[in-house]
Amino acid sequence: MRTRFDQRRPDGVAPSQGAFLCAHCNSTIPGEAPGTRHRNHCPHCLWSLHVDLRTGDRRSGCQGRMEPIGVSLRYDGDWALLHRCQSCGLIRMNRIAGDDNPLALFSLAVRPLGRPPFPMDLLPRMVSGGQDLSDGEEVQS
Ligand SMILES: [Zn+2]
Ligand SMILES: [Zn+2]
């Protein structure tokens, strides 16, 4: 399925230094980003493009759209964004930028809490440790 977003930069030239058109929300994004040397995702919707082999080199032939799938803590305590390429499946960790939408970041960070892998009403019994709550598996006690 092709969309008009697929035709960005038809001549392969960025309009200004590092600026790009977001392939997801169609915002025009300036190249300069506070807090990072390589702007690699949209500060509004946080989507990215698979354009780098290594950070900032723009040498990947994939060009797939990369969905923000989560937030991780870097070793230095900063937040990082996890992106997954919709074309090739690559998962990459990217530094957040100072102008990233805080609401979008936060909703991404808490997203797993909205889809817990077990019924939330069982949580009190699970943390108190006593009961067999798994489906069909024996729990040794
Ligand atoms: Zn966007
Ligand atoms: Zn890719």
**What ligand has the least distance to the C-alpha of 46?**
1
d(Cα 74, Cα 60) in Å, to the nearest integer?
A: 24
Please report which confidence band the pLDDT of residue 128 belongs to, taking 50, 70 and 90 as the band edges.
Answer: confident
d(Cα 59, Cα 77) in Å, to the nearest integer?
A: 29
**pTM, 2 dp:** 0.73
Measured at the CA of 105, the angle between CA 99 and CA 109, to 5 degrees, comes to 155
Burial of 66 (0-12, 13-18, 19+ CB in 10 A): buried
| φ, ψ of residue 78 in degrees (nearest 5) | -75, 155
Distance 112 CA to ligand 2 centre (A): 24
**What ligand has the least distance to the C-alpha of 28?**
1
Our measurement of the distance from residue 87's CA atom to the centroid of its chain's CA atoms, rounded to an integer in Å, reads 14
Summarised one tens digit per residue, pLDDT across range 87-99 is 999 999 999 999 9
Summarised one tens digit per residue, pLDDT across range 2-14 is 444 444 444 444 4
How confident is the model over 107-122, as a mean pLDDT?
90
- Contact (CB, 8 A) for 88 and 62: yes
- Contact (CB, 8 A) for 56 and 74: no
**What ligand has the least distance to the C-alpha of 100?**
1
Residue 110 C-beta-side C-alpha neighbours within 13 Å: 6
What is the predicted pLDDT for the residue at 64? 96
Distance 33 CA to ligand 2 centre (A): 23
How confident is the model over 83-109, as a mean pLDDT?
95
d(Cα 70, Cα 45) in Å, to the nearest integer?
A: 13
Summarised one tens digit per residue, pLDDT across range 17-60 is 678 899 999 999 988 888 777 788 999 999 999 998 888 788 99
What are the structural domain ranges in the chain?
Answer: 17-109
Please report which confidence band the pLDDT of residue 136 belongs to, taking 50, 70 and 90 as the band edges.
Answer: low
Distance 75 CA to ligand 1 centre (A): 27
